[in-house]
Structure 1
C-alpha cells in the first residue's frame, strides 16, 4: 500500500527565508511607510491600506504615503482618508519618507509608475 503524504494546504513560491527576513525587518522597524504607484487604483490603495491595518495591529507606527490623492470613487475604502498624498501634503510626505526605517512599495507593475 502506498504511503499517504499530507500535502500542504497552500503552496507558495516565496522563499521562506525571505518571509523570515521581512518579518525581522518589521519587528525592528520604528517608522514604516507604505507607498504605491502614481494615480493609485483599487489594487494599490487596497493593498496599501490592508498592510497599514496589519502593521497598526502589530503596534507599529505606519503611514501610507502616495504621490497622488485617492480617486473619489475609492473614498469608501477603510483608511483611505488617513493617506498622506504628496500633492496635498508635500512636506509631510517627504518628512515621513525621510524618517522611515522601512518602506513597503506596493503594486508597482512598471518602473515608470514610480514618482
Structure 2
C-alpha cells in the first residue's frame, strides 16, 4: 500500500469531490492502457471512506488466439483509493470495485486496531 499527501510545494488540500480525487491519481500514476495501447477509461466511485479510482478496459479489439478465442488479460494493474479524511493515496489489486472497497475497509480496520 502506498501513501502520499504532499507535493514538492508542501501538503495539499484533501480532495473533496470525485473529480479532485481523479486529478490526484492522474498526477501520481501513469495512465492505464488497453491492449492496443490506447488509454483506458478511468472511473471514480465515491464511498464512505474515500474515492476508488479504477480503470475500465476495452474488450473490443482484445487479442485472440488462432481460433478466435480471447487471450487472457495481462497480469497486473491497480485500483487506487484516495482517503476522504487525509488524502492518503493507497494502491489495491485490480479487483472489481466492491471487492476493492471491501479490501480497503479491511486494511483500514487492521490499521486502526494496531494503533490501539
Report the TM-score, using the length of structure 1 for normalisation.
Answer: 0.24
- Structure index of larger Rg: 1
Higher normalized strand content (fraction of residues) = 2
Q: Which has the higher contact order (CA 8 A, sep 6+)?
A: 1
Higher normalized helix content (fraction of residues) = 1
